[in-house]
Structure 1
C-alpha cells in the first residue's frame, strides 16, 4: 500500500511540474481554452512513433499519420475543404499518390476571408541504420508543427469566435520540394487569403533563449510586427529569422502561398546552424522539450488572434 501511495505522489508531482512550467511562460486569459501540454505530448509521441516508419510519402507509415490527423479533425467536427467528401485533397506526382489533409473552421462575420494554419506531416522514412535505428522519426521536423496545427484546431474550435475562416492543413511531400503546398496554392484564389501561419520545428529552445521563436521573411510583410504587438504583454518574444543565409522563407510550405502574394510566414525555434539531429534518425521525441512546444503554440495562438478575429490584416508579401 505504501508503494502505491509513493508512486501516485511522484506521478502527481511530475504532472504539477509540467502544468506549472508550461502555464507560467505565456499568460492566457482564464476565459479562453488552454493549450494542453498533455495533449501536445500525445500528438507528438504518436506522430513521431516508430509505427509511422518516418512518414515517407507513398508508404504505409504516412497513411497511418494521415488517418490520425483525419481522426482528430473528425473529432472536432471540422468541415471539409470546398465541400469535399473527406479531409483529403488528393493528387498524384511522379507516379506517387499524395494527399494534403485539410479541415475547415468556418468564420462568422468574415467567413469569405481565409487564414491558413499549416505544417507538413511527411518526413524521410527509412535511412541507413545508426546504432541499429533506421527510422527517421521526424519528431521536430515536423511532427512538432503538426502537433501545433492539431492543438490550434482544438483551441479555436472550443473558442468558436473566429471571425475569419481558418483552414487547417497538414501538407504532404514538403521534403520532396513543397509538392503538397504547391498543389494547394494552384487550387485557390489568393485574393481571399489573408494570412498563412506555417509552423516548422518548434521543439528545441531557440538561439534567443527560453520563451522565444523566430519568424521567416519578417521584412516581407507586416505579419511579424502584428504578432510582436500582440505578444507585447506576455513573456514570449518573437524575432526575425536570424538564419537568412539558409533562405528558410523559401524552404518551407509558407513559400507556396507567399509566391501568390499571401502574407505567409513560418514560425520556428530550431537552431538550424547547430542542430545535429536535423534530417537524421536521431530526430526523436526525447531530444525535444514539451514545454517549448506548448508555449510556442500558446504564443502563436495569442500572436495571431487579431488576424483570425478580423481586427488586423497583414500587408501582402513583397519580394
Structure 2
C-alpha cells in the first residue's frame, strides 16, 4: 500500500511556496519614468522655474503630487518648507520616509536636488526660456525616483528625507534656509547627498559620476564599496572651480560639518548648455540617467542600513 506524504513535509512545502509568493520583486527605475519627470519640469509651460514665479509654483505642486502618489509623507505639516526672498514667497518641497529600526530611525539621510532654474534670459533664435533640463530637472528626477523606490521597498533602517530646493540659482537660498532650520531643530543628520546635473555621461572617465569635495570624506570610497564597482570618482575640474561650495550640499556641510556632498555626471567639460536656452530634454541621455540612478540606489540602501555611521569626514 502506497504511503501518504508525511505531515511535516507537507508543511515544509507550503511554507516554501508561501515564502516565494511574498518575496519582494526587484524595483528598477526606467528611462521612461525619468524622462516623464524631466519633460514636465523642463517644459516651456513652466517658463524656466524661476523662484517666485508661477512656473515654480506649478513645479512644486507637481513634485508634491509625485511624492504623495508614492506614499511619501510630508516632513512638516505640509510638503512645503516656506521661506522669503525679500518680499517674495519661496518654498522647498520636503518628503520623509521614517526608518524601520527603533534606534537607527533617529538618524537621517538627506537626498536633495534643486528644482528651480533661472527663468527667462536673452533670446537666442526666438527662444528666451532657460528650461534647465540638466540643471536641474535631471537631479530632481533622481531624488523623486529614489523616493518612489524606498517608499515601495520600506527597507531603510535609517530615516530618509527627500529635499527639493528652490532658489539655488539665487545663491543656495533654499538649502541654506532648510539647513539652518534643521540644525536649529537638532536633526540627527548622518549624511546629505545632493544630485546635480546627471543628464549626460562622461566620455573619457573610468567612473560614471563624481562627488564634489572628494578629498573631504570617504563618501566615494564607501559608495563604490557598497555597489562593488568604480561608480564614483574624482573630478579635477570640480576641485579647480570649487564646485563643492557651489551646490546645495554646502549649506548642510556648513551647519553640520558632516559628509554633505554632490553627485554629478557633469563638471561642465561634457555639457555646452549651462544656463543656456538650449538646456532642453533633447540634450539628455535618459538611458544613462536611469542606469546611474539604479546603480546609486543600492549604495543609498546600504548606507541606510549599516549598524554604524560608516561614512565619515577625513581628519585634517
1:50/1:303 Cα in 2 relative to 1: closer, same or farther (>3 Å)? same
- The equivalent residue for 2:15 is none
| 1:38 and 2:32 correspond | yes
1:312–1:50 distance in 2 versus 1, CA, 3 Å: farther
Distance 1:207 1:265 in 2: 23
- 1:283 to 2:279 alignment: yes
Name the SS of the counterpart of 2:294 in structure 1: helix
Residue 281 (structure 1) shift: 0.4
- Compute the TM-score of the two structures, normalised by the length of structure 2: 0.86
1:97 aligns to what?
Answer: 89
Cα displacement string for residues 21-47 of structure 1 (whole angstroms, at most 9, x for unaligned residues):
xxxxxxxxx943111221111111111
- Match runs of 1:18-97 below 5 Å: 31-81=25-75, 84-97=76-89
**Secondary structure, counterpart of 2:50 in structure 1:** coil
Question: Which is greater in Rg?
Answer: 2
Aligned length in residues: 287
- Equivalent runs, 1:69-218 vs 2, <5 Å: 69-81=63-75, 84-109=76-101, 110-189=104-183, 192-209=188-205, 212-218=208-214
Distance 2:272 2:243 in 1: 17
Which 5+ residue runs of structure 2 have no aligned equivalent?
1-23
Alpha-carbon distance change, 274 to 206 in structure 1, aligned in 2, over 3 angstroms: closer
Contact map agreement 1:210 1:292 (CA 8 A) in 2: no
Give distance in 2, aligned partners of 1:280 and 1:31: 41
Which residue in the other structure is 1:5 paired with?
none
Kept in 2, the 8 Å contact 1:103–1:169? The answer is yes
Kindly report structure 1 stretches of 4+ aligned residues shifted beyond 3 Å.
207-211, 316-319
1:221 matched to 2:205? The reply is no
Cα deviation, residue 317, structure 1: 6.7
CA drift at 1:273: 3.1
The 8 Å contact of residues 207 and 233 in structure 2, kept in 1 or not, is answered as no
1:207-237 Cα deviation digits (max 9, x unpaired)? 44487111111111121111011122x5x62
Using structure 1 for the length normalisation, give the TM-score: 0.85
How far off its partner does 1:275 sit? 2.5
| Distance in 1 of aligned mates of 2:206 and 2:218 | 24
Gap change, CA 1:187 and 1:159, over 3 Å in 2: same
Give the direction of change, closer, same or farther, for the CA distance of 1:294–1:312 in structure 2 (3 Å limit).
farther
Structure 1 residue runs of 5 or longer lacking an equivalent are: 1-29
Q: CA RMSD in A?
A: 1.9
